[in-house]
Amino acid sequence: MLNDIFIAPFADMIAAPDFLLQVLWEGLVSGILYALIALGFVLIFRSSRIFNFAQGIMVVFAALTLVGLHAMGIPAWISVALTLGVMFILAVSIERIVLRPLVGQPDIILFMASIGITLFLIGGGEIIFGGENKVMITEELGIPTGDTVLEPWGGLLILQHLDITVVLVASALVAALLAFLNYTQMGRAIRALGDDHQAALSVGISLQTVWVLVWFIAGIIALVTGIAWGARAGVSFALEVIAYKALPVLMLGGLESITGAIIGGLLIGILEKLFEIYWGQPLLGGNTETWFAFVLALFVLLFRPQGLFGEKIIERV
C-alpha cells in the first residue's frame, strides 16, 4: 500500500515523461481558467466586500447570450460585441438596482443579494434561451480545433489547438488586467478601494463608477471563460458548477489576493490532474477531480485561514 502511494506514482512519472507532460499541460489549461474565474471573484470582493455568488451563472449567461445572438443570424464577432454590451448593461443594472440601495448594509445582506442576482439570471436565462444544451460557435469565431502532435523523448504529446488558444487568450487577459490595475488611474482606484474604503472615498474616488467597472470586468471574464469551457463541454447551465471550481482557488490563494488567484488557480489545476491520474485512478477508482481541490484548500485553511497569499486580519475587540 505504501509503495502504491509513495513510490509507484513517481516511478510512473519517470518511466513515461511524455505522459507526465501531457498531464501537466491539461492541468495548466484547467488551472488558467480557474485563475481567470477567481480573478472575477477577487476584483468584486476587493472593491465592494461582496462575495459574488453570481460569478458562476454569469459565465453561463454570457455564453448563452453569445450563442443566442448568433442563432438570430448575427455574425459571430458582432455577437461578441453585443454580448459585451449586455454584460455592461447588467453591470450598470446591478449597481443601480441592487448595490446602491444596500450601501452600508452588513456583508451577509450583500451576499444574499448576490444569491438573488444568481436566481434572477438563472430564471431569465431559461426564459430567454431555454434550458437545453447548446453548441459553442467555435468555428464561427475562428478558434482552431485541430491538434499538434509532438514526440518528446520518443513519446507522444498531443496539444489541442483549442487548448493552446485558451491558454494564450486567458494569459493575455490576465496580463491585461494586471497592467490595468497597476498602471492606470482607474485600476489604482480599484486597488485603493480594496485597501481602504473610507480613505479611497475621502480622496474623491467614485464608489459607483468602480462598482460598475469591476462588475463589467467580471462580465468580460465570464464571457471569455464561457467561450473556453463552452467550446470544450458545450453551453449549458452545468457550466455554473464548473465555474465554482474557482472557490477552492480563493480558499487557497486568499479572497483578496490577485496574485493568490493566479497562482492558486494554476496550482489547483495542475495538482488535481496529477492526483487524478497517478493516485486517484489507481487507488480510488478515479473521479477525484470533483473533490480534490476542496480537500486541498481545506487542508491549507487548517494551518493558514487567510489562504497562502491573504493578509492576516487582526481586530481589536
**What CATH number has the domain bearing residue 201?**
1.10.3470
The pLDDT tens digits of the residues spanning 182-193 come to: 888 888 887 777
> Of the candidates 26, 39, 27, 25, which has an alpha carbon nearest to the alpha carbon of residue 225?
39
Q: What is the pLDDT of residues 225-236, one digit of tens each?
A: 999 989 988 898
Question: Exposure of 210 by Cβ count < 10 A (0-12 exposed, 13-18 middle, 19+ buried)?
Answer: buried
pLDDT of 49: 75
pLDDT for residue 278 = 93
Residue 31 has pLDDT above 70, yes or no: yes
Lowest mean pLDDT among 26-30, 88-92, 252-256: 252-256
- Residue 311 belongs to a domain: no
Q: Is residue 312 assigned to a domain?
A: no
The answer as to whether 313 is a domain residue is no
Query: pLDDT by residue (tens digit) across 258-309?
Result: 888 889 999 999 999 999 999 998 888 888 988 899 999 888 888 888 787 7
pLDDT at 205 > cutoff 60: yes
- The pLDDT, as a whole number, for residue 311 is 63
- Parent domain of 185: 2-303
Residue 159, in any domain of the structure: yes
Cell of 107: 456583508
C-alpha cell at 260: 493568490
Which residues, in sequence order, are bridge partners of residue 160? 147
Asked, for residue 309, whether it belongs to a domain, the answer is: no
CB-CB neighbours of 289 under 10 Å: 17
Q: What angle do CA 261, 266, 267 make, to 5 degrees?
A: 100
pLDDT band at 111 (very low <50, low <70, confident <90, very high): confident
In angstroms, the CA 211 to CA 208 distance is 5
* Tens-digit pLDDT profile for residues 115-145: 999 999 999 999 999 888 899 999 999 999 8
Domain assignment present for 222: yes
Q: Confidence class of residue 78 from pLDDT cuts 50, 70 and 90?
A: very high
pTM of the model: 0.90
- Look at residue 67 and tell me whether its pLDDT is greater than 90: yes
Q: What percent of the chain has pLDDT over 90?
A: 45
The CA-based diameter of the chain, rounded to the nearest angstrom, is 64
- Taking alpha carbons only, the member of 37, 47, 48, 50 closest to residue 248 is 37
Is 213 inside any structural domain? yes
* 316 within some domain: no
**Per-chain mean pLDDT for the chain:** 87
Q: How far is C-alpha 176 from the geometric centre of its chain's CA atoms? A: 16
> Domains in the chain: how many in total?
1
